[in-house]
Structure 1
Amino acid sequence: ARTAELLPYLDDADDEEPGGFDLRISVALNGQVISEPPFSTMYWTAAQQLTHMTVNGASLRTGDLFASGTVSGAAREQRGSLLELTWNGTEPLELPAGKRTFLEDGDEVTLTAWAPGPDGTRVGLGEVTGRIVPA
Structure 2
Amino acid sequence: MIKKLILFSSGTSGDYKAIGLSHRAIMNNIDSIINYMKPRADDVFYIAKSMVHSATITGEILVSLMIGSKIIALNTLVSPRIILTRMETLKPTIVCLNPTILALLLSVKGRRYDLKTIRIFILVELQ
What's the TM-score bracket when you normalise by the shorter of the two chains? under 0.3
TM-score, normalization: structure 2?
0.22
Q: Which is greater in Rg?
A: 1
Q: TM-score, normalised by structure 1?
A: 0.21
